Structures are given as C-alpha cells and as structure tokens.
C-alpha cells in the first residue's frame, strides 16, 4: 500500500482544498492529513475560523481522506513519515522547495494550487462585505 501525507490548516474549506486532497489521494492508496492544531496555528500567527475539532470532523467526512492526525509543530514531518511509513509527501506549490530535505525519506511532490481561490482571499472578501 502506497501512503501519502499532506499538511495544512484546511479552514473555510473550498474547491482548492478538495482538489488538492483529490490529487494527493490519486498518488497513492491511503491519504493522511496532518491538520494544524489551534496551538500550532497561534505559533504561526494564524487564526482559523473553525477550531481544530470542527476542521478535523469536516476533513474526516471527505472521501479522499483516510486519516487525520494533529500537526503540532514544523519539525514533526520527518517523524510522521517514519511513524506512518509514508511513501509520498505532498504540499501545494506555494511551498515549493521548503520541504526538499524530506526527499531523503520519501518522494516530495508539490501540486499546483487551484487558481483564483484561497482561504486568505475568502477571509478578505468576507471582511469587505
């Protein structure tokens, strides 16, 4: 079984998120999502609209997602690759080059983001209503 892992906050779920998860899952048989915890988001100076449990519940309902694990810090990715016997690490192409060091542990793939949609864009538009 080929395992794939990706990470993110997955707040205000939109088509871009679903497309990323769909494409990540198509690379293997089992997709693990490392979901940023509320505490980790605060460390990143990010604020999610929905709390961790709410975002986790939504992700677990998506047919492409097989397992959701908490992402608690930047450094856990290598440990997760070993712990979950991951074959492919996937992130959006806005992170290109940032995780190339993981190539020694598994294949690293950066997927093109869906154009003209992002959680940040949605939040900005909602503030302007």
CB distance 13 to 64 below 8 Å: no
Alpha helices in 44-104 (DSSP H): 52-60, 76-83
Three-state DSSP at 96 gives: coil
Q: Which residue is it, tokens 């908490």?
A: 70
Out of 2, 15, 44, 83, pick the active-site residue. 44
Out of 2, 3, 15, 46, pick the active-site residue. 46
46 is catalytic: yes
Three-state DSSP at 64 gives: coil
Enumerate the active-site residues: 44, 46
């Amino acid at each position: 079984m080929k395992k794939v892992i990706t990470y993110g906050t997955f707040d205000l779920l939109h088509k871009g998120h679903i497309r990323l998860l769909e494409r990540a899952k198509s690379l293997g048989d089992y997709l693990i999502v490392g979901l940023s915890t509320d505490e980790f988001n605060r460390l990143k100076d990010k604020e999610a609209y929905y709390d961790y449990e709410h975002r986790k519940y939504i992700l677990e309902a998506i047919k492409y997602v097989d397992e959701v694990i908490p992402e608690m810090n930047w450094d856990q990715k290598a440990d997760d690759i070993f712990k979950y016997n991951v074959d492919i690490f996937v992130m959006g192409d806005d992170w290109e080059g940032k995780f190339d060091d993981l190539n020694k542990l598994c294949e690293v793939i950066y997927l093109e983001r869906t154009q003209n949609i992002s959680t940040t864009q949605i939040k900005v538009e909602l503030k302007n209503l």
